[in-house]
Amino acid sequence: RMAEAVQAGIGIFGENRVQELLAKYPVVQSPASWHLVGRLQTNKVKSIIGKVDLIHSLDRYALATEIAKRAQAAGTRVNVLVQVNVSGEPSKQGLKPAEVMPFVEQIAPYEGLAVKGLMTIAPQGDPQAARMVFRELRRLFEQVAQAEIAQVEMRYLSMGMTDDFEEAIEEGANLVRIGTGIFGKR
């Protein structure tokens, strides 16, 4: 099914789990690129360096340090998005909105790491609540962009999934995650 998607013009695949990405990676070849969307454990960073074009879920200093260390050892830079828990839901990962600017300023100089934007996951089932989360992430995105932090290129606003991608796009998303809409439920 993924090969059919590539033939239909889909060029980016996102995966939530490292193990699933590693199983699919050798099967789905270029021109596809891979994004890791789900939570990344520091002990699994080494297995994805050189395989993913973008990590959407950078949410802590220990992970930033490990990514930077592994990327430097491989002679590369890894593009990352900072994950923000805008809604404050305990079930969601990510930084609190007030932590975003200090976090980005702290990790910006890390060799091997390239901050390219922000990511969030909105509450499910309420389009208006989702819209407010997306609007706040867009505000944070613009705040970081206006700060003009060296080595930070605010390029991607990753927000919205199958059930709320339209609201996300209306609020400024330029990366949406619609795997369920394309491939169905797990």
pTM of the model: 0.93
Task: Please confirm whether the linkage preceding 123 is cis (ω < 30° from 0).
Answer: no
Hey, which residues does 117 pair with through a beta bridge?
81, 156
Task: For residue 185, name the pLDDT band (cuts at 50, 70, 90).
Answer: confident
Task: Name the packing angle between helices 100-107 and 61-74 (round to 10°).
Answer: 30
CA-nearest of 93, 34, 44 to 66 is: 44
Q: What is the DSSP string of 27-61?
A: TS-TT-EEEE-S---GGGGGGTTTT-SEEEEE-SH
pLDDT per residue as tens digits for the range 110-169: 999 999 999 999 998 888 899 999 999 999 999 999 999 999 999 999 999 988 999 999
Helix (H, G, I), strand (E, B), or coil: what is residue 158?
Answer: strand
Q: What's the pLDDT score for residue 30?
A: 67
Spatial contact of 130 and 123, defined as CB atoms under 8 Å apart: yes
Task: For residue 28, name the pLDDT band (cuts at 50, 70, 90).
Answer: confident
